[in-house]
């Protein structure tokens, strides 16, 4: 159906200071945004993730949703991104994809979604001589995107190379003031020997960069993958009582294993939760 405003020409007259001229019609902008979204590398399985379909059952999910909405409203006048962290199944990736789509549709931003592990694999593949792409062919869009989602930070086993490559992405985006939305199920532990901590996985320099460039938003919730979507209140209660991953049981687990004495907590960024309420992702359940 041709557009009612421009009848398919994609241009529409606009009068400014008494002078009429042609400007791009809104339908053109919408079409460009949809085209850019197709190129944004959002995996098919997240195609239905929107801000409007994000389920917020817990206080931390409601808080995360508010921050996501604020980010979208203020874009591009935002100087910080978001780091959404917490256990599996609380909606971190859903929210990140919702933000990405919203800024692309309503703000005309160019953006990309990369799963961290996939990005590292693409970069690694360029070292293979049979691949014509260079490292910078892969990293260019990642470094230059108006907004970038880097999903599941810390899922890749760490190494000097992993830390350097991710450090390059984080630093470049930080220096050029391009906001990034990270998701991660790492924990913000001050213990640099804790394998699931940001410091251990990314190195302390990148960990501090992340603190400077992002608002850290800790998310807890009902694991939708365990109780299923639109679960009844009864089902949620049963889950909270029985699952080792429920906030109640995690709290118990944390309080029964005291923190080693004499260890200072790392400085948490503004807005980050000050209590570590969960011990990290469950083994064997990355997805
Ligand atoms: Zn039109």
Q: Is residue 230 in some structural domain?
A: no
CA distance 201 to 203: 6
In this structure, the answer to whether residues 162 and 183 fall within a common structural domain is yes
In this structure, the answer to whether residues 178 and 94 fall within a common structural domain is yes
At residue 251 the predicted structure's pLDDT band, cuts being 50, 70 and 90, is low
Q: Is residue 242 in some structural domain?
A: no
Provide the pLDDT for residue 283: 39
Q: Does residue 261 carry a pLDDT above 70?
A: no
At residue 69 the predicted structure's pLDDT band, cuts being 50, 70 and 90, is very high
Question: How far is the centre of ligand 1, averaged over its atoms, from the C-alpha of 166 (Å)?
Answer: 42
Higher pLDDT, 192 or 234: 192
Q: Does residue 267 carry a pLDDT above 50?
A: no
Q: Does residue 199 carry a pLDDT above 80?
A: yes
Provide the pLDDT for residue 224: 65
Residues 184/100/136/128 CA torsion (nearest 10 deg) = 60
Residue of 116, 196, 127, 205 lying closest to 162 (CA atoms): 116
Provide the pLDDT for residue 233: 67
In this structure, the answer to whether residues 172 and 134 fall within a common structural domain is yes
Provide the pLDDT for residue 252: 56
| Average per-residue pLDDT for the chain | 84
Measured in whole angstroms, how far is the alpha carbon of residue 43 from the centre of its chain? 14
CB atoms inside a 10 Å sphere around CB 273: 17
Q: What percent of the chain has pLDDT over 90?
A: 68
Question: How far is the centre of ligand 1, averaged over its atoms, from the C-alpha of 108 (Å)?
Answer: 16
Question: How far is the centre of ligand 1, averaged over its atoms, from the C-alpha of 145 (Å)?
Answer: 27
Q: Is residue 229 in some structural domain?
A: no
Structure-token pair, residue 94: 């859903």
Q: Is residue 186 in some structural domain?
A: yes
Question: How far is the centre of ligand 1, averaged over its atoms, from the C-alpha of 1 (Å)?
Answer: 10
- List the CATH number of the domain containing 137: 3.40.50.300
Number of domains in the chain: 2
Question: How far is the centre of ligand 1, averaged over its atoms, from the C-alpha of 30 (Å)?
Answer: 9
Q: Is residue 273 in some structural domain?
A: no
Provide the pLDDT for residue 221: 79
User: For residues 150 and 114, is the Cβ–Cβ distance under 8 A?
Assistant: yes
In this structure, the answer to whether residues 33 and 63 fall within a common structural domain is no
Question: How far is the centre of ligand 1, averaged over its atoms, from the C-alpha of 40 (Å)?
Answer: 24
List, for residues 39-48, the tens digit of each pLDDT value.
999 999 999 9
Provide the pLDDT for residue 10: 92
List, for residues 112-171, the tens digit of each pLDDT value.
999 999 999 999 999 988 888 899 999 999 999 999 999 999 998 899 999 999 999 999
Question: How far is the centre of ligand 1, averaged over its atoms, from the C-alpha of 129 (Å)?
Answer: 47
In this structure, the answer to whether residues 202 and 74 fall within a common structural domain is yes
Q: What is the DSSP string of 59-110?
A: HHHHHHHHHHHHHHHHTTS-S-EEEEE-STTSSHHHHHHHHHHHHHHHH---
The average pLDDT across 15-28 equals: 92
In this structure, the answer to whether residues 78 and 210 fall within a common structural domain is yes
Provide the pLDDT for residue 191: 86
Question: How far is the centre of ligand 1, averaged over its atoms, from the C-alpha of 27 (Å)?
Answer: 4
Question: How far is the centre of ligand 1, averaged over its atoms, from the C-alpha of 98 (Å)?
Answer: 25
Structural domain boundaries enclosing 26: 11-40
In this structure, the answer to whether residues 116 and 209 fall within a common structural domain is yes
In this structure, the answer to whether residues 67 and 130 fall within a common structural domain is yes
Q: Per mean pLDDT, which range of 6-20, 60-74, 236-250 is the poorest?
A: 236-250
Phi, psi of 24 (to 5 degrees): -60, 135
CA distance 253 to 264: 21
Question: How far is the centre of ligand 1, averaged over its atoms, from the C-alpha of 33 (Å)?
Answer: 14
In this structure, the answer to whether residues 114 and 59 fall within a common structural domain is yes
In this structure, the answer to whether residues 120 and 85 fall within a common structural domain is yes
Last-in-domain residue among 173, 201, 221: 221
Instruction: Indicate the SS3 state at residue 29.
Output: helix
- Select, from the ranges 76-80, 96-100, 250-254, the one with the highest average predicted confidence (pLDDT): 96-100
At residue 279 the predicted structure's pLDDT band, cuts being 50, 70 and 90, is very low
Q: Is residue 83 in some structural domain?
A: yes
Question: How far is the centre of ligand 1, averaged over its atoms, from the C-alpha of 99 (Å)?
Answer: 25
Which residues have their alpha-adjacent CB atom under 5 A from ion ligand 1? 3, 5-6, 25, 27
Predicted TM-score of the model (pTM): 0.77
Question: How far is the centre of ligand 1, averaged over its atoms, from the C-alpha of 12 (Å)?
Answer: 7
Please give the helix or strand (H or E) that residue 149 lies within, else none. strand 147-151
Question: How far is the centre of ligand 1, averaged over its atoms, from the C-alpha of 4 (Å)?
Answer: 6
Q: Counting Cβ atoms within 10 Å, is residue 187 exposed (0-12), middle (13-18) or buried (19+)?
A: buried
């Amino acid at each position: 159906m041709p557009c009612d405003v421009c009848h398919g020409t994609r241009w529409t007259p606009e009068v400014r200071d008494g002078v009429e001229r042609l400007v791009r019609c809104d339908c053109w902008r919408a079409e460009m945004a949809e085209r850019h979204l197709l190129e944004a590398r959002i995996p098919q399985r997240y195609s239905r993730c929107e801000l409007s379909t994000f389920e917020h059952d817990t206080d931390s999910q409601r808080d995360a949703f508010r921050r996501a909405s604020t980010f979208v409203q203020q874009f591009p006048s935002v100087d910080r991104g978001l780091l959404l962290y917490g256990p599996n199944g609380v909606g971190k990736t859903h929210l990140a994809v919702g933000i990405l789509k919203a800024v692309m549709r309503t703000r005309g931003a160019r953006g990309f979604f990369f799963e961290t592990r996939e990005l590292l694999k693409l970069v690694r593949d360029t070292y293979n001589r049979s691949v014509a792409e260079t490292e910078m062919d892969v990293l260019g869009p990642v470094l230059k995107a108006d907004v970038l989602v880097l999903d599941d930070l810390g899922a890749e086993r760490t190494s000097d190379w992993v830390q350097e490559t991710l450090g390059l992405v984080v630093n470049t985006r930080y220096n050029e003031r391009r906001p990034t939305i990270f998701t991660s199920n790492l924990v913000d532990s001050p213990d640099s020997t804790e394998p699931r901590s940001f410091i251990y996985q990314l190195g302390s320099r990148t960990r501090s960069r992340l603190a400077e460039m992002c608002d850290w938003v800790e998310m807890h919730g009902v694991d939708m993958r365990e109780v299923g979507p639109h679960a009844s209140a009864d089902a949620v209660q049963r889950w909270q009582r029985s699952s080792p991953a429920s906030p109640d049981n995690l709290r118990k687990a944390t309080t029964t294993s005291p923190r080693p004495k004499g260890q200072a907590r790392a400085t948490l960024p503004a807005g980050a939760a000050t209590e570590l309420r969960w011990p990290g992702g469950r083994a064997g359940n990355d997805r």
